[in-house]
Structure 1
Amino acid sequence: MIQEESLRLAVEQPVLEPVVTGAGPTPIITPARVEDRSTTREAQPEAPPVQAGLSEAALDQKPVPTRSPFATSILGLNLSIEELQAQEAALEQEFSARFRRAVAATRETLSERLDTVFQGLKQIDENLLDELEEALIAADIGVATTQQILETVRRGIARKQINDLDALKQAIKNELLRILRASANQGVASETSVPEDVLPYVMMVVGVNGVGKTTTIGKLAQRIKAEGNEVLICAADTFRAAASDQLAIWAERTGVPLIQQKQGTDPAAVLFDSLKAAKSRGSDVLIVDTAGRLHNKSNLMAELEKMKRVAGREVEGAPHETLLVVDAVTGQNGLEQARQFLKVAGVTGIVLTKLDGTAKGGIAVAIANELNLPIRYAGIGEKVDDLVVFDPELYVNGLFE
């Protein structure tokens, strides 16, 4: 579903004027792209403008199908393999640095506290393990996960595999990585790996109000669009007055169409219209906002179940992914939210927001371990491109380096 169009990502799609309909059930579409996608593409000029800095030889080459987790912003450019590799290396280095900065506060809580505990000690004893337990819990890794890590450490000590402080720290890193990787392996196929005959790929986004759900949807839409996909947003949170207005701002900012209706409309009806629109346009991905009224679980469960039935009836296997947005600042409260939404909404993955603004980033490990849910994305800043694919290795290395 990634489109192979020359310089596609270097050209911004124009933001067209919104269509505002009158009263009634007809959805408002923002921006106003109601024509079929194939028709739209035929109207585009055959020869896109030449990007500054590209040589004629580079432009004559065929697109290189190589893909890297760090190369999404350069997919589709007619660069040589060497140029692609150089840009990917630069992107990887930048991405690593950004991720490391994002977990700085958690690193200070965990790694630097461990360094203080280890300072001057020459042997591993129960007093040291008690200090280690306090450090892990302070980083919001959670009591249950902390006890599991300590049990692994004790087994390593008993087997003479851990006999110094460096080996102890490495054992902790290895266990954190094992937990995060195990949950990642349980994740569903992402929008970039789903078969091309499944269109649109439907992503439902759930979460309590105030965790950054709307912002996450906007950033997610921008990211998936930048990977070469046609994206559509469904504003199905019709109970919160500001929800649709906030999404409309993000839709205009990112140039992604939005389907919305008046406040109080049945969310399933908005989703139905969005699915029809996505299929008629040939959209690759449909991102669906939902209400965040967790305090009224019975109504929310009934609402989500109805939406799932509508989605599954219109698109095979939909919703293909249900992402829960969790505010990392909430720490263990985020774990409880995840536990409740897992029961109500059948969550398949986590978006951890505000990771850069808390010392409680260990909640990622707690959620992955106790609920076996993969952390799919992490918010590491306020910019539109500061929603990144969560990388267990970068996360753990960032905590200890």
Structure 2
Amino acid sequence: MHQVDGGRRALVGSGLALAAAPVLALRAGEPIRLAMIEGLSGAFGNAGEAVWRNLLWAVERVNARGGARLPGGARPLQLLRMDSKGNTEEALSQLKLASDQGIAFVLQGNSSAVAAALIDAINKRNEREPAARQLFLNYSAVEPALTQEKCSFWHFRFDAHADMRLEALTEVMRTDARLKKVYLIGQDYSFGQHVVRQARAMLARKRPDIEIVGEELHPMGRVKDFLPYATKIRASGAQAVLTGNWGNDLTLLVKAVRDLGLAPRFYTFYGNALGVPATLSEAGVGAVVAVAEWHPNAGDAGSAAMVQAFRRRFPDPREDYLHARMQVLVEMLVQAIEKARSTEAAAVARALEGLKFDGRGLGVPHRGEMRAADHQFLQPLYVSVMDRAGPGGLAFDVEGSGFGFRTVRRFEVDELVPALSCRMTRPAA
């Protein structure tokens, strides 16, 4: 079990100071700046800060081994915090600020609606100003359209998109013969709407005997009391709830259902951290299912080493939320920069296309490939279920809760690979 002690309670210092530290340690060349545009305050600030820690750690590890190797000498990475406050207009304002500063690499993911707006703005700017083009690197915005009908040469997605995640989740649901009634609930924006719609379609195809006993969309980030929604779930007689909710919209939903004494199984995209295990405690054992590209108990000794190293860097259990895909994003960006021998956006984009990743030698136990045709990263997925950690249980818990996740099933790339529907417009060489 992952132990909680006084050392883990120590708070991490300010983000800007942490961002500067690895750059000051390297004097080989001007830093390659990465602008993380994310909601660091507001309703989903905790999710934004979790992203920040992941990306910061990835940047620090690259810099510790010398940075990106370029013909003019090694150059460190520098990660900049740009708070969108969870608002699309503010995100666009921050993008303009990054553009004005000549930052070529923009990172975002918490909200597909924000991602769509940023991609559109970058597309227009890159056409208007070809000498100062930018790349958009997406770690979590999973609406499929972003690599399908709205695909862009300037956008690369490192997370599995929603249909790939749903394919894995609903396949596990398909095999549960006892499951007869499911409630669908999501945030009322493009991603949440897509998850509810596609979940219904996939379950109808795979298990037509399952009854959808409720379908609900709620305002995103504005509901403080989910009791009315929990009451509807109780009245429906649902045995399971499927949701793409994330951040506090998921934690508060789970809490409201628990407070009513209900015990449905939650099939989630993001139920493996950000307070959900601690909120449910024993009631979540065997009842919370999550899908992700990796989880702390998924792998071998290399996987365990990555978890332990991250926890040494961020010893506060409240900051214990590690994503393999964010490590992959930074590592693949560096590989593409070195392959292109340039930091120019189009050259790096072409180097990223078709790039294969095997991070075992880098302390990232993950593999995958960036599909050139649509810029969707193809990788295995794990469906896992909440269980006890400690003696006789899982090796790692999450967030000091005493509970972690164990693998139910690993899905290989060929089980999830999405059909191609992207018609990408490419810039002239």
**TM-score, length basis structure 1:** 0.28
1 or 2 for the larger relative contact order (CA 8 Å, sep ≥6)? 1
Greater CA radius of gyration, 1 or 2? 1
> Which of the pair is proportionally richer in helix?
1
Instruction: Normalising by structure 2, report the TM-score.
Output: 0.27
